[in-house]
Structure 1
């Protein structure tokens, strides 16, 4: 292995390999990592190419570790543990700004509940107040990787690139329809009701292929195939388009607390759900990671 190849290996690939080595099944490993199988396979292949050895034997009916894979599992586990300990040590020496804790929130969260969340957080933990940032999942993840956020609530699956995370909620969805539409006359809707309604708006697959696929599998299982479908044009524009009678969509139920003229929210009778995880930036002080994890119930309340 040459020096250039060595430098191409990152800690995320080691974490991915360790999960595959434990599961010996790419599908289960991808599910644990909240990835689809192709990007996971590409990362493992890139790791093997950089090392110049095969770590996994895929020639039989299952997946097995090679001799090099067995050696890598032990060595990489030690390396990841040492990396995490080193990062935690540096973080302990350079603590987070005591005046604030920068928390990323999904764009659809009801911010009228934020003051209650912040107050409950400070009362329970005696930690710094929360400083919120509303953004899409990919934007929140980018901010965590740049360390401009300390933690964020992100709808899964996402490729978290090795960041620590913990599940905090599984959210149901509501149908978001024009208030002028016949659909708004019903108290609750099924996906079948949206089938031939206004154009169905959803985020583009390229924005987050794994999350898009998560929803697509649920739609297919429920037999939902909208007659007309289009990429959602962005947060404000999507709401405006629905208010104008030119679209409908599904969104997590927490959005229903926010009122927009011309927009109606209706309970969805079909089980469309998404998990939300609390994701931590690399190097966040262990005490803050623990405090945030312990207060997961607070986040569940404001999300739901």
Structure 2
């Protein structure tokens, strides 16, 4: 009996060069795979997320998409959607791609995707988060500072109190005084466990998106961010689209032009995997639109 093979591609997302940004493994044909097998494959790759493309279940979507961290299945994530759309448009998959507009059916709800092209070539994608911003509770400033190993006065509450918020995947958000504070972070695992016990919970129990605004002009922001998740998948993530969408939505709430807000978010710099995430909130209460470029890294087959 021949051994079954499963095709995959690896893509770096939120970057224009290989070995930067955030890698995602995309299983191009996941038909017949069980959830247990999908989880094992995600563990084998060890990336923050691995995606599994299944044929669409109806005529209104392009594919069903399942997303796994090395530890669990999650309802939504930013860079996996963008990377999967890039692969679906450039490789042979079981997705139905008939135009530059795709819809992925996911646990967190349908995700609309628009392919980005340059001189006719697909270079990335723009996704719309599955839900508008939801703030799920405030966080104690001292607790956030303890998690990050920083003095409490380096955690700001001028724009908004540190809080847990989501546009499809929840994170805790905390503004830091400046980029030096971001660079000085030293994670305290015991404090993260205490924060998880207190709640509100986030993805991976308790994960923090720490950021510093480097410049702003009206409703346009430039931001440096780091996302930490030491209780779950890799302790630091080089690019986190879902967190970037919620962060920009929070910035829009803190004062924008009728809710409009645009942010360019640099992440992964301290990890040596610089990433650039572009986010726009079109109007008050609107869902975040997250844009990123992609670079193909490798492709092959898995043996089952």
Question: TM-score, normalized by length of structure 2?
Answer: 0.23
Task: Give the helix-richer structure, 1 or 2.
Answer: 1
Question: TM-score, normalized by length of structure 1?
Answer: 0.23
Structure number with bigger Rg:
1
Task: Give the strand-richer structure, 1 or 2.
Answer: 2
